[in-house]
Structure 1
Amino acid sequence: MLSNRTLTEEQTLIRRHFTDFFESERYEEKYHRRIQAMIVADKARLVMDIGDLLDFHLDVASLEAAGGVGGDGGATNPNTPTSLGMGIIREPGKYLPLLELALHDVVLRQQPEYLKVDYRSRAVHIGFEGPVGTVLSPRELYARHLNTMVALEGIVTRQSTNRPRVLETVHYCPETNKFTKKEFRDQLTPMLDSSHLPTVNVMPKTDMEGHALRTELGLSTFMDSQCAILQEAPERAPTGQLPRNVEVRFDDDLVDAVKPGDRVVVVGVFMPYTTADSKSFQSIVLVNHVAPTQAAAYLSRYISSVEDRLVAFAKKSIHREGPSGVLQVLAKAVAPTLYGITHEKRAVLLLMVGGVERQAHNTHIRGDINVLLVGEPSTAKSQLLRFVLGVAPLALSTTGKGSSGVGLTAAVAVDAYTGERSLSAGAMVLADRGILCIDEFDKMGASDRVAMHEAMEQQTVTIAKAGVHASLNARCSVLAAANPIYGFYSVHHRLAFNVGLPESLLSRFDLTFIILDQHSSAHNRRIATHILRNHMTSTPVTLDPVVTKTIVDGGVDAGPQEGGANAAGETQHGLDFRMTANSTGESIVSVDFLRAYIQFCKGGSPLLTEASQQLVSQHYVQLRAEQQDGTRDGFFVTARTLESIIRLATAHAKLRLSPTVEEDDVAAAMELLRSSVHAASAATQQRDEDNRTSRAEVAPDDAAAAATEAGRKRGIDAVGGGRSPEEAAQQRMRLEDTTPRAHAASADSAPYLHDNAAAVQLSRRIVEALKGLKQEQRQSVPLAELHERLGGATSAGSLADLARTVSGMQGDVFVYESERGRRRQRAASSFRT
């Protein structure tokens, strides 16, 4: 506990410098207003700008003369602080208590009543903001930072309850009728004179004369204290390494200033300490100032300098492409290495922009957009999630199989030393105000999925266990990817059956897309061309990229961008706004520009016009009319769908930098929503089209015969090498004799290839039908009923052909045909559930 006891000459001089700082002409008015605001708000902490103290220089010669830091031969010691701010940063244990004493004197002169609280004297504290130094992460703290002022950035993952610390106790002796005081300290308490400090913090039972003492707790002085764990931001942790953390302590008015899941920047003194039963030292940060940090704050500082260019880009895109021009142009820059999936890319872009969060009649209305991608293997779902992780300023990644319910929301942890219960934030809480990417969403257990219901709609996580009841914010968008549980999507079943998720959870996604693996040769050829172009046109990481044109004025610069005026104009503050080209040569915006534009437009709050409100209502009524039973296409249209339309339209208006949501925004939102609502029927049509295309593509053609003849000739020429002319001629004659047989075999194999491809398509339909039977708890099925379930119009043509097709399949459900009252096993599904 600080006291106004006798100071040394050096301490008196430093204290006088701090007093002069508060009374200086340059800073007197500024800090007089801050002190008055602190008094009016009834607070006990004055926030000071460390930059002001860095500009207030010290008299180094006077300090050395006072014995603070001695020099040899009159030379100035280089370690002597040259300013008050440098002294605070380098030696906070010496300078910070003296600064608080100087502030106490100033407040005492201005308003002495403020310092009197009941019978005690109010303690005033100092908090620092400004250029303390480089903002570090817990991973970057080293021994050289001990006993210095540091600024740390991270996420609060665990927090203890308030534990008051005793500062001073009052003891009463009934025999002598006297009161005595005893000050308590720990290794982290700053003191001006260590000789007055007790070495053992034990509550006294008797006085110096052996008289019994009674502790008067009501007259003793305590201070609120709270410990927390500050963890390194997951996106800043090196790949393959766990995020580091550090313990921090909040005292007095800073208690409960943060909660688990908050991203904050704390300023404090990094100090070591040890315990009686430990032989090693531990470290802790004594916080004097805490402030929330916004994701991508580093980018926000530069938005104002490029705001004109962002607005010009939006106007130019709308003028060229129409009202949805911005969405179309920016969507091309979303995962440009992926072919197709246009609607999915646009949905992801709107997810990163988000809607508008509102509070109506004490009811929270979600503004974040949730998107679910359901696709067969190798449809680039995970790649799309990875792109969002790299572009979004705040995004966390997890998997359904590797995450538990408490790991996604929050858990109650027990401190190993104190036995105290505390809250540990999960992934959704840590992703507050950001995006949570969940891969393998279908692998999540049923008990774990229940924990996400509240977090995805109310955007809060409520914990009521082990005597702890708390509610944490989980205001994040969810981008999830799931595979069908049987490996491929069955168009004959609903979405919930394919992914194994309940309708209550699926309804919380604003958009749900079904991505099928198309089998047509034309589609495969386009994908192959796109991937090959990516490999051929992509720049190795060791070389400098080549830029094609600028972003707003459209000027072309075909030369390399090493220096030059264009490079200087398009690269600002470490951000590259130059346009690049995708694999097809089409110009797309850079990732830096996409990130800056999203950050710029996220701050908008457009309102719906009367016309757009009526249009939203009409579309919602129409969707309800189309799905009166609520199950058509496997999707439910509920009131949540209406809110989804509003969120999507609002996000599109924010992309246009418009203050209002117009009818064009509603139309763009409905285009995406209809592609989501009718995704099941679209998947059925696409699967049928693939089946028809596959049958048509397996027909024989002359190219195969020509390739066989060319291969035969190359084989004859190769046989002649290294042999005598006679031996080569004899071998050529033997090969010529086999030519008619080879042509006959080739002609016979063509219809076989056609039939084989058709059988593959038929096998898929049989597997889907048998899986449906297994879901119905049936162990067998007659061949005639299976033929009827397949629609009767199969490529097999008859029951005999169908029986021949299933004869090679093995599994649990078997197909039989009735022969004189007996059942003869034919086949069974190879998929076990």
Structure 2
Amino acid sequence: ESLDVDAHDVFDHDPDLYGKMVRYPLEVLAIFDIVLMDLVARMEPLFEKHIQTRIYNLKSSICLRNLNPSDIEKMVSIKGMIIRCSSVIPELKEAVFRCLVCGFYSEPVMVDRGRVTEPHICQKEQCKASNSMTLVHNRCRFADKQIIKLQETPDEIPEGGTPHTVSVLMHDKLVDAGKPGDRVEITGIYRAMSIRIGPSQRTVKSIFKTYIDCLHIKKTDKSRLHIEDSMDTDNTNASKSSEDGHVTDKIDKLKELSKLPDIYDRLTRSLAPNIWELDDVKRGLLCQLFGGNALRLPSGANFRGDINILLVGDPGTSKSQLLQYMHKLSPRGIYTSGRGSSAVGLTAYVAKDPETGETVLESGALVLSDKGVCCIDEFDKMSDNARSMLHEVMEQQTVSIAKAGIIASLNARTSVLACANPSESRYNPRLSVIDNIHLPPTLLSRFDLIYLILDKADEQTDRRLAKHIVSLHFENPEVVEHQVLDLSTLVAYISYSRKYIHPKLSDEAAEELTRGYVAMRQRGNNPGSRKKVITATARQIESLIRLSEALARMRFSEVVGVRDVTEAFRLLEVAMQQSATDHATGTIDMDLIMTGVSSSERQRRDNLVAAIRDLVMEKMQLAGPSMRMAEVKKPYLSVHVVCPDTIAICPLS
């Protein structure tokens, strides 16, 4: 058992005691444990468990790179991100030996700093045999131990520096208190350990290995979602009950907010308020933060609840700023760039554990952002090998690894927010999205929403945008709207909704979804064409369900209503009108996203091939088995039907 003690309370009681506790933690904590056991013995005489004191919340936190030899054997508090967790290791605490001659069992021998002192002779008076003792494992006492690797957070890294790491030892109840990707604050004792020159030699090196013996761990960075005050490291009931009143008041305020009729618009204005307009894009990003419900059927089929969004547009349209804002706000958010990301860096890679020498899997960006949002900038500049790893992640939400003797499937239940620039720097409206950014259709179809953010020249729009940007640099900026939620309230609102609100489709909403989907499909029936245009696919109705559930969560509603479905259709159509519109016909054609070629373009190509085939067959019947390419091109060049290069590549069979 353990008791958490706030270091600020120790300082308020006796500053001198606090100073001794930080400088000589081993001695002072041992005294704390003795006093605590005496108090417990007076209140509960039959209580036999050992209670350990865990100190947290030191007055000052030290930067990880500032740890130096003067801090050894002192209590320190550091912040960072967990990048690796080892498996649980059994650590020997008490050893029991048995004599091979007479079978006598020795008294338990305490382990001192990893050293086990084996008795040289049997302790039985009648035996006294020398070098006859052997370790009995099933009578020894073991404790759980885990080694985690802590890395500096990006805001603590100086200009031009690389992140520093430190090993942290977790014991007993602290094991598995954190997982890779968590940002934590650790209170512990900074210690040094000697390193032997060889495994069979007693000589040690002059350079010591340092690590932190963890006393307490808690999550930090309250500006992110899904953050709790502690990581369930046995906080006392008294400390929990003292916070119940405050938490209840906070929840009541959030529920009052959810009942406001304009809560949807208010949340939209509160998301990235420094970015001007882009309201529909912000609404889509809000849906991504709230998310839908993941569905697991008894048959084993899984349907993801996370929403994937792609932002495409001209340079200077705030795409990267939106990504940075979502990264800072989202739970377990990871920000990476397409140019600097490899396939293994995104998923997982095999490395050798320096502690045990075993081959282990290191988590990549997508695995570290499990149950969060992975923001990928410069998506169009990512290598094809790295981009191919996203297919499984964005639909099945797993990462399958089979390398170096390790076969595993890792969870990557993450929402992907990607940002891409056109290949020619400026978006060409005469080309499709796929032709502009050169992404494979199989990957593009996995995005629920694709937004085009274009820089269009308009005097009134430009003037309002310039005023907004200039106002951000005033000494007295423009007064922020009263109806904008502050960041902490927005974080609490989304966190509560994701954790406690799980809406289900009502009968009316389900019928509206079916009716709307059929209506979208009916738009593809063109009376003048023999072929049907695909205006919606099964993936679109799954996207609509996820968007509807996210919109219901914004109102703290357990039931998805018709108005949620209507708004989901509107959001999807806004995105599709921008990204999936065939400019030749002015209609939505999902073939642009699914295959990269619109139905009308495919029809024109088929007509061209048929016309050329008829022409060639007619000419060859009159002029013989061969004809010049110029004769084939001439009829079409005269009426400007098609570029001559197109004729050269058209298949005639």
Post-superposition offset of 1:668? 0.9
Provide the rounded CA distance (Å) in 1 between the counterparts of 2:74 and 2:215: 13
Provide the rounded CA distance (Å) in 2 between the counterparts of 1:49 and 1:231: 25
Within 5 A, what are the aligned runs for 1:12-31? Answer: none
Number of the residue aligned with 2:553: 654
Q: Provide closer, same or farther for how the CA distance between residues 142 and 791 of structure 1 changes in structure 2, counting only shifts above 3 A.
A: farther
Amino acid at match of 1:161: S
Q: Cα deviation per residue 1:547-595 (whole Å; 9 max; x = unaligned)? A: 536625xxxxxxxxxxxxxxxxxxxxxxxxxx6xxxxxxxxx6666655
- Describe the SS at the equivalent of 2:150: strand
Provide the rounded CA distance (Å) in 2 between the counterparts of 1:235 and 1:360: 42
**Contact 1:494–1:633 (CA under 8 A) maintained in structure 2:** no
Provide the rounded CA distance (Å) in 1 between the counterparts of 2:430 and 2:93: 73
Number of the residue aligned with 1:448: 386
Post-superposition offset of 1:673? 0.8
Number of the residue aligned with 1:679: 578
Larger radius of gyration: 1
**Contact 1:442–1:482 (CA under 8 A) maintained in structure 2:** yes
Provide the rounded CA distance (Å) in 2 between the counterparts of 1:642 and 1:235: 41
**Contact 1:482–1:499 (CA under 8 A) maintained in structure 2:** yes
Provide the rounded CA distance (Å) in 2 between the counterparts of 1:551 and 1:650: 28
Number of the residue aligned with 2:305: 367
Q: Provide closer, same or farther for how the CA distance between residues 297 and 444 of structure 1 changes in structure 2, counting only shifts above 3 A.
A: closer
Amino acid at match of 2:359: R
Which of structures 1 and 2 has the larger relative contact order (alpha carbons within 8 angstroms, sep 6+)? 2
Within 5 A, what are the aligned runs for 1:181-580? Answer: 183=109, 185=111, 187=113, 211-218=130-137, 219-234=139-154, 237=157, 241-277=161-197, 278-290=205-217, 296=223, 318=261, 325-332=262-269, 334-335=271-272, 341-357=278-294, 361=298, 365-392=303-330, 394-416=332-354, 418-485=356-423, 487=425, 495-496=433-434, 498-518=436-456, 523-526=457-460, 528-540=462-474, 543=475, 545-546=476-477, 548=479, 551=482
**Contact 2:95–2:116 (CA under 8 A) maintained in structure 1:** no
Provide the rounded CA distance (Å) in 1 between the counterparts of 2:174 and 2:367: 21
Post-superposition offset of 1:369? 1.7
Post-superposition offset of 1:371? 0.3
**Contact 1:369–1:478 (CA under 8 A) maintained in structure 2:** yes
Post-superposition offset of 1:439? 1.0
Q: Cα deviation per residue 1:432-473 (whole Å; 9 max; x = unaligned)? A: 333221011122233323332333334344444334455544
Provide the rounded CA distance (Å) in 2 between the counterparts of 1:479 and 1:790: 48
Post-superposition offset of 1:478? 1.3
Post-superposition offset of 1:511? 0.9
Pick the structure with more helix per residue: 1
Q: Provide closer, same or farther for how the CA distance between residues 547 and 304 of structure 1 changes in structure 2, counting only shifts above 3 A.
A: farther
- Describe the SS at the equivalent of 1:211: coil
Number of the residue aligned with 1:645: 544
Post-superposition offset of 1:228? 1.3
Identity %: 30
**Contact 1:206–1:212 (CA under 8 A) maintained in structure 2:** yes
Q: Provide closer, same or farther for how the CA distance between residues 682 and 502 of structure 1 changes in structure 2, counting only shifts above 3 A.
A: closer
**Contact 1:615–1:663 (CA under 8 A) maintained in structure 2:** yes
Matched, 1:615 2:512: yes
Q: Which runs of 5+ in 2 are unaligned?
A: 198-204, 230-245, 588-600, 610-627, 649-653
Q: Provide closer, same or farther for how the CA distance between residues 399 and 304 of structure 1 changes in structure 2, counting only shifts above 3 A.
A: farther
Number of the residue aligned with 1:47: 2
- Describe the SS at the equivalent of 2:288: helix
Provide the rounded CA distance (Å) in 2 between the counterparts of 1:654 and 1:246: 40
2:503 to 606, 628, 647: 606
Q: Which runs of 5+ in 1 are unaligned?
A: 1-45, 61-77, 116-122, 190-199, 319-324, 553-578, 580-588, 689-764, 774-779, 795-801, 804-812, 817-833
Post-superposition offset of 1:648? 1.2
**Contact 1:633–1:679 (CA under 8 A) maintained in structure 2:** no
Q: Provide closer, same or farther for how the CA distance between residues 435 and 781 of structure 1 changes in structure 2, counting only shifts above 3 A.
A: farther
What is the aligned length? 576
Post-superposition offset of 1:258? 4.0
Within 5 A, what are the aligned runs for 1:692-707? Answer: none
Q: Provide closer, same or farther for how the CA distance between residues 53 and 398 of structure 1 changes in structure 2, counting only shifts above 3 A.
A: closer
**Contact 2:22–2:74 (CA under 8 A) maintained in structure 1:** yes
Post-superposition offset of 1:242? 3.6
Provide the rounded CA distance (Å) in 1 between the counterparts of 2:534 and 2:66: 51
Provide the rounded CA distance (Å) in 1 between the counterparts of 2:301 and 2:252: 37
Number of the residue aligned with 1:670: 569
Question: Structure 1-normalised TM-score?
Answer: 0.58
Provide the rounded CA distance (Å) in 2 between the counterparts of 1:474 and 1:284: 30
Post-superposition offset of 1:535? 4.6
Provide the rounded CA distance (Å) in 2 between the counterparts of 1:186 and 1:677: 67
2:82 to 156, 178, 196: 156
Number of the residue aligned with 2:25: 92
Provide the rounded CA distance (Å) in 2 between the counterparts of 1:233 and 1:789: 63
Post-superposition offset of 1:93? 0.9
**Contact 2:84–2:149 (CA under 8 A) maintained in structure 1:** yes
Provide the rounded CA distance (Å) in 1 between the counterparts of 2:638 and 2:405: 57
Amino acid at match of 2:27: K
Post-superposition offset of 1:429? 2.5
- Describe the SS at the equivalent of 1:50: strand
- Describe the SS at the equivalent of 2:389: helix
Number of the residue aligned with 1:792: 640
Q: Provide closer, same or farther for how the CA distance between residues 94 and 527 of structure 1 changes in structure 2, counting only shifts above 3 A.
A: same
- Describe the SS at the equivalent of 1:164: strand
Amino acid at match of 1:432: D
Calculate the aligned-residue CA RMSD, in Å.
Answer: 4.8
Q: Provide closer, same or farther for how the CA distance between residues 214 and 678 of structure 1 changes in structure 2, counting only shifts above 3 A.
A: same
Provide the rounded CA distance (Å) in 1 between the counterparts of 2:70 and 2:303: 48
Amino acid at match of 2:479: T
**Contact 1:303–1:596 (CA under 8 A) maintained in structure 2:** no
Q: Provide closer, same or farther for how the CA distance between residues 502 and 228 of structure 1 changes in structure 2, counting only shifts above 3 A.
A: same
**Contact 1:296–1:393 (CA under 8 A) maintained in structure 2:** no
- Describe the SS at the equivalent of 1:407: helix
Amino acid at match of 1:668: E
